[in-house]
Structure 1
Amino acid sequence: MSTTDILITGIGTALPGVEGPMDLVDTATPRAGTAPPVDPAALIGKRGLRYKDRASQLALCAALAALTDAGLWAKDQLTVAGPSVAVVVSSNLGNLDTVCEVAADITTEGVNGISPMGLPNASSNVIASSVAIRFGLQGPNLMVCNGATSGLDAVHWGAAMLRAGRAERALVIGVETHNGPVEWLVGRPAAELLDGAVALLLETAPAAAERGSAPIAVLGSYAREASVEACVRRLVPTHSGQPGSWFVPEGHREASPAPLAGVARTDLTERFGRASGALGVLQCATAARQLAAGGEAIEQPPVLVTSGNDHDDASAGLLLRAVGASA
């Protein structure tokens, strides 16, 4: 492992039918629309949730789980310096219901009809801000709302912050909810949409080593191209070895770029529903747990994760390596 490596040292989930990160690789867990919704109060208590929108509530649940999994939260406090932890959140539609409610109130009642407690939730960056405030994370704070590639872009920007020395750790969260406005906008029923959150704790190798953290997986190369095939060919050249598995963009299971012919592929939206801005983070969390299950084998092949189809504005991809595997 190199001192320049960016490691995943914690994973947190707030997903229907998933009790923890280990369930991410258990294909027997309930499929989208069949499991009961996540109850944030049951996971983190009612304190501070009253005026939070659902996306923020779910993000807080996943954040606490990831911080705890990484050993950064104990006895109701952060175990490292607050400025050492950045926050990056990806969500395209998370607070759409609040935006619509505020717009409707302005239309019918004017600005005086806006709730002072609800208005802050109309800003998409309220999710990232709420997480930082709740857990005392004082590093850089970024909200990514970047379409189909948003989740992987968020992971990339979290890693970029660490490589630039802006922080030693980054909490990256993907969250989406389903509600009336979201169903109307995407033209899909609630049963086909994700209502949940997942979080990764990224850490520089020196920071993880200093506190004796056991990494789960290692981030590899990232690419963003105009098409899925261009993205795949950049990350997996035809002359190099194939990845062990491929987490495909939504509905891309049957496509076969030349470098990946015969590689096992997984479309997580078939299990969790359309995940929009949360998909890339969900894919990385699942891939990391898959790699960890294979142990620290030097020859264990990497896992390829991609988000964004050819009809989207771009496709993003990321390789993840097992701990101890060669780069």
Structure 2
Amino acid sequence: MTVAAPPVRRPVITGWASISPYGLGADTLSDGARERRGTRVPVEAEQWGVQARAACLVPDFDPRALLGRKGTRSMDRATGLAVATVGMLIADGVPNGPGTGLVIGTTAGGLNSAWTTTQDMLVGERPFYIDAAKIPYVIMNGTAGHCAIWHGLQGPNTTVAAGGATGLTALNHARRLVVAGRAERVLCGGVEEFSPARYWVESLADPDAVIGEGCAMVVVEDDDGERPALADLVAVEFGVARAGELATALASTVRGALARAGVRADEVWGASPGGSGAIAATAAAVHEEIFGSDAVAAVPPVDLLGDTAAASGAFQLALVLGAARPEHAGRYAVITSADQHGAFACALLRTRGPAEQRGGQR
């Protein structure tokens, strides 16, 4: 008996959405980043309970006001950001149901929910005198699970926590789910909130960090010709560098990804180096050495949004997609993310042209 070979699946990105310090929606992010507008605002100590000088906050974000009062009484800020962003994609025509999966990247899930719940157990009259409605948000995968329940996403549901490489790790997991036929499409990205707990944790690592928040999501699906595509997902690769060797290891991985894909450096129109502080400077130098300063300047820097931690790679994807123009059709973009522990990731995208997209950006 002859067994038919399984179909070859080619993952593409067909849409994206975001909630960022520029506001709600993809257009606000693209326009604000293109104009290089700053997003830092003073942090009101009375509202937030911390003495941070500034942060990059989503303006006037209130889950109850945006999503309605039902089901949002105890919803934490990160889950509200993710539910609202996924909702934008569903409203734009992304089908829900059993064929749609979800991959969300985070640093530690609902950190503030865990912080306050632990505090209530320690100082309350009884350890079990806590708000039970907050418990789902204490668990790291609570945000992804709540998004799936809220929007009826019945495909694979995954939470990823991989430090600075989280955004591209989520992208790679989405790619694998699509290629393996485990899902028809996957919504993937990252989310981080500004909260007292996150401020204290981040400030211990870097007292000078300007914390950012938001959520960015892309749609990864098989290129079956049914939906317009924005970019082909050519490669996602990972590595770990020893102390002081990030530049060498990152350059080797980027060049290796290009070589395996048969792509020349002069075919890359946009380069997005990630990371923060010295890590970002090292990554930017690697990108400029390989692709030139024009390619780096073509994509707005992710640090316009502040330190978005696990969501930074997802925002880099969004910034690349938002910066793509018709003249970039058939050319490539490279995204790298790295953190202080030496983990890094590299993604290679091929930008689609208007004819190939069979439509436009959703």
Please report the TM-score for the alignment, with normalisation by the length of structure 2: 0.77
1:45-90 residue CA offsets vs partner (Å, 9 max, x unmatched): 3332212111100001110112223x12xxxxxx45x110011000
Long gaps (5+) in structure 2: 1-6, 42-56, 241-245, 357-362
Structure with higher helix content: 2
Partner of 1:75: none
User: Cα distance, 1:103 vs. partner?
Assistant: 1.7
CA distance in 1, matches of 2:101, 2:133: 26
Per the alignment, residue 92 of structure 1 pairs with 107
CA distance in 2, matches of 1:322, 1:111: 54
C-alpha displacement of 1:3? 5.9
- 2 CA distance for matches of 1:190 and 1:20? 29
Q: Which position in structure 2 is the counterpart of 1:246?
A: 271
Within-5 A mapping of 1:287-302: 287-291=320-324, 293-294=325-326, 297-298=329-330, 301-302=331-332
Following TM superposition, by how much is the alpha carbon of 1:93 offset from its aligned partner in structure 2, in angstroms?
4.0
Structure 1: 5+ residue runs without aligned partners? 73-78
2:303 to 260, 270, 278: 270
* 1:225 partnered with 2:232: no
Larger radius of gyration: 2
Identity %: 26
- Change in Cα spacing, 1:267 to 1:275, as seen in structure 2 (3 Å) is farther
Give, as a single letter, the amino acid of the residue that structure 1 aligns with 2:112: D
Closer, same or farther in 2 for the Cα pair 1:158/1:180, shift >3 Å?
same
Contact map agreement 1:9 1:214 (CA 8 A) in 2: yes
Give SS of 1:319's match.
strand
Instruction: List aligned pairs for 1:49-68, cutoff 5 A.
Output: 49-68=72-91
Q: Is the 8 A contact 1:194 1:275 kept in 2?
A: yes
Asked if structure 2 preserves the Cα contact closer than 8 Å seen for 1:287 and 1:320, the reply is no
Cα separation, 2, equivalents of 1:307 and 1:259: 16
Moved more, 224-233 or 50-59: 224-233
2:291 match: 260
- Hey, what does 1:193 align to over in structure 2? 211
After superposition, the Cα gap between the structure-2 partners of 1:190 and 1:170, relative to the gap in structure 1 and judged at 3 Å, is farther
Give the counterpart of 1:144 among 160, 168, 184: 160
Further displaced range: 22-31 or 176-185: 22-31
Q: Distance in 2 between matches of 1:30 and 1:93?
A: 29
Where does 1:1-327 land on structure 2 (aligned, <5 Å)? Answer: 4-26=9-31, 27-28=34-35, 30-34=37-41, 36-69=59-92, 71-72=93-94, 79=95, 82-109=97-124, 110-187=126-203, 192-206=210-224, 209=225, 212-226=226-240, 227=246, 228-237=250-259, 240-242=264-266, 243-251=268-276, 252-253=280-281, 254-256=284-286, 258-265=289-296, 266=299, 268-291=301-324, 293-294=325-326, 297-298=329-330, 301-309=331-339, 311-323=340-352
Runs of 4+ in 1 over 6 A off after TM superposition: none
Query: d(CA) in 2 for partners of 1:40 and 1:14?
Result: 12
Q: CA deviation at 1:189?
A: 7.4
Provide the aligned C-alpha RMSD in A: 2.7
Q: TM-score, normalised by structure 1?
A: 0.85
Q: What is the aligned residue count?
A: 309
Match of 2:336, SS state, is strand
